[in-house]
Amino acid sequence: MMAAWEITLDGERAMSWNVWYAGRHWTHRVAHSNRVHMLVRSAIDPVNAEVFSVPVDIHIEAAYRSRPVDADNICAKPYIDALIGWIIANDDTSHVRRVCLSSMRADRTAVTIRVMPVAEKGSSPIDAEKSLFLRPAG
């Protein structure tokens, strides 16, 4: 199985969904997405980049020197889309099983993206945890 993959984008402040939709014209959102795509792709070594052949979990960790965004308000979509074709084949459910977001105050502002291959079905504690949510109540 492939090893996990990780990059840190120093100085990058993850945008919140509030800012993303706060009356901004669609051209601002496109410009932001294009900037993030270029930033992520410039951090990927094209010689050693390999698309995962198994489903993955993606963790986006946003660190802020001030005013951290709530974890559930981090707009991760542009970062994940930038991985398509380089690290993941697609961002649909057959390729990306889970996206986890975390936010914290830190001594520097940065976004870290971790892509982890999913273990075979039934061999992960996550699969056991998931089965708890699928049981009927009562």
Q: Which domain holds residue 66?
A: 5-134
91: domain CATH number? 3.30.1330.70
pLDDT in tens, 53-65: 999 999 999 999 9
**Backbone phi, psi, residue 56, to 5°:** -130, 160
Give CA–CA dist 118/54, Å, rounded. Answer: 7
* pLDDT (tens digit per residue) in 22-69: 777 888 889 989 999 999 999 999 888 999 999 999 999 999 999 999
Which is higher by pLDDT, 33 or 123?
A: 33
Residue 131 has what pLDDT? 45
Question: What's the pLDDT score for residue 72?
Answer: 94
How many domains, in total, are found in the chain? 1
Across 103-130, b (16+ Cβ under 10 Å) vs e yields beeeeebbbbbbbbbbeeeeeeeeeeee
Percent of the chain at pLDDT exceeding 90:
67
Provide the pLDDT for residue 122.
52
Query: What single-letter amino acid sits at 9?
Result: L
Greater pLDDT, 117 or 128: 117
Runs of H (alpha helix) within the chain: 17-21, 26-43, 77-83, 125-134
Strand 96-105 relative to strand 110-117: parallel, antiparallel, unpaired?
unpaired
Q: Which backbone phi and psi does 83 adopt, to 5 degrees?
A: -85, -20
| Whole-model pTM over 0.85 | no
